[in-house]
Amino acid sequence: MAKKSARDRMSNEVNAGSMADIAFLLLIFFLVTTTIDVDKGVLVKLPPWSEEPPEVEKMKTRNVYSVLVNAQNQLLVRGEPASVNNLRDNAKEFIMNPRKREDMAEKPTKAIISIKNDRGTSYETYLEVYNELKAAYNELRNEEAQRKYGKEFEYLTREQQREIRSRIPLVISEAEPTNFGEEN
Amino acid sequence: MGKFTKKRGKSTPAISTASLPDIIFMLLFFFMVVTVLRDSELKVNNNVPQATELTKLEKKSLVNYLYIGRPLKQYQATYGTKPRLQLGDKFSDVTEIPLFLEKHRSSVPENQRPGINSSLRVDGKVTMGIVTDVKTELRKAGQLKVNYSAKPRAK
Q: What are A71-81's pLDDT values in tens digits?
A: 888 899 988 89
Distance, CA of A102 to CA of A116 (rounded, Å) = 24
Residue A147 within any structural domain of the chain: yes
CATH 3.30.420.270 matches B50-152 = yes
Confidence category of residue A2, pLDDT binned at 50, 70, 90: very low
Question: Using CB atoms and an 8 Å cut-off, which of residues 16-35 of chain A contact chain B?
Answer: 16-17, 19-20, 22-24, 26-27, 30-31, 33-35
pLDDT in tens, B21-56: 788 888 888 877 776 666 677 888 888 898 898 888
- A124 contacts B125? CB cut-off 8 A: yes
Note whether residue A66 is domain-resident.
yes
Q: Which has more confidence, A60 or A144?
A: A144
Q: Look at residue B55 in the predicted model and tell me its pLDDT.
A: 85
Q: What is the 3-state secondary structure (H, E, C) of B87-139?
A: ECCEEECHHHHHHHHHHHHHCCCHHHHHHCEEEEEECCCCEHHHHHHHHHHHH
**pLDDT tens, A91-103?**
999 888 888 888 8
List of chain A residues whose C-beta atoms are within 8 Å of the C-beta of residue B142: 48-49
pLDDT at residue number A1? 44
Q: How many domains does chain A have?
A: 1
Q: Is A112 a member of any domain?
A: yes
Per DSSP (E only), the strands in chain A are: 40-45, 64-69, 75-77, 80-82, 112-117, 172-174
> Is residue A130 one of the residues assigned to a domain?
yes
- Interchain CB distance below 8 Å, B147 and A20: no
Backbone angles phi, psi at A61, to 5 degrees: -60, -30
Cβ of A41 within 8 Å of Cβ of B149? The answer is yes
Domain extent at residue A160 = 61-174
Those of residues 86-145 in A touching chain B at CB distance below 8 A are 117-124, 126-128, 130-131, 134-135, 138
Using the predicted structure, report yes or no on whether residue B5 has a pLDDT greater than 60: no
Report CA dihedral (B126, B128, B130, B131) to the nearest 10 degrees. 100
The H or E element that residue A31 is part of is: helix A17-33
Residues 102-141 of B with CB under 8 A from A: 117, 119-120, 122-129, 131-132, 135-136, 138-140
- Where exactly are the structural domains of chain B? 50-152
CA–CA separation, B120 and B108 (whole Å): 19
Residue A159, H or E segment:
helix A158-167
Q: At what angle do helices A123-149 and A87-96 cross, to 10 degrees?
A: 50
Say if the Cβ atoms of B54 and A49 lie within 8 Å.
no
| CB atoms inside a 10 Å sphere around CB A162 | 11
pTM of the model: 0.77
